[in-house]
Amino acid sequence: MARRKPNLKNYPSTLEYRPAPRFPGYIVSEAGIIHRATHLDAEDLVETPSGSVRVRAAVKLSRYPAVKSRVKNGNRMVLLCIGGKYRAHRLACVVLEAWAGSKPENSMATPRDGDPANTLPANLEWTPKPPRKISDRWQKAVREAGVRRRLHDRAEIVRLRRQGLRIADIASRGISNATIFRALKAERELG
């Protein structure tokens, strides 16, 4: 069976790549193409004066496809493996970390032209993350959950039961039956 010729149009050897700092084993091009670098030999990479690398053998890159990106909530996302676990990361962040430096604390990569598909490093900048907006309804639910969580204390449930309250009365305070039964069972087992 004849080997298929690689499509070299999609993998030009003129692209420069830089290693992704937080993602060892990956190299990122200025065009936003990410490759796993674990399959590349040292002689396949040529260092440039700017500190980036060029892949000498475009044929070799064409055998190993680039990491695919997908659009989620308007952002291009890529799945990268760190320590054997795949996690989704914003492509803009990965490109900007590789080409502009490490990510400042509590910031995000934002395109200057407003187009999230344009992930060229010249178009990206670090901007502070906006504060999280929490609605009044959500804050009320969190406060109520805190009150309920305090009641979930096993000693409190056991004390209420010893006072003669029925399980239904304890459950009416916002505690699930399963939590009540678990607390009472643990009390019986401990003695």
The per-residue pLDDT for 8 is 40
The per-residue pLDDT for 125 is 92
The per-residue pLDDT for 135 is 66
82 pairs with which residues across the strands?
85
pTM as predicted: 0.58
The per-residue pLDDT for 53 is 67
Low-confidence ranges of the chain (pLDDT < 70): 1-14, 38-46, 50-65, 133-135, 137-152, 191
Return contacts of 25-33, CB within 8 angstroms, 24+ apart: 25/81, 26/67, 26/80, 26/94, 27/53, 27/55, 27/98, 28/94, 28/95, 28/98, 28/99, 30/95, 30/99, 30/120, 30/121, 31/120, 32/69, 32/76, 32/91, 32/95, 32/119, 32/120, 33/66
Domains in the chain (CATH in brackets) are 16-128 (3.90.75.20), 136-190 (no CATH)
Alpha carbon distance 111, 118 (integer Å): 7
Are 97 and 20 contacting, i.e. CB atoms less than 8 angstroms apart? yes
Alpha carbon distance 16, 110 (integer Å): 22
Q: Tens digit of pLDDT for each residue in 82-108?
A: 888 888 888 999 999 988 888 888 898
The per-residue pLDDT for 59 is 44
What is the phi-psi region of residue 95: left when phi exceeds 0, alpha when psi lies from -120 to 50, beta otherwise? Answer: alpha
Task: Indicate the DSSP class of residue 175.
Answer: -
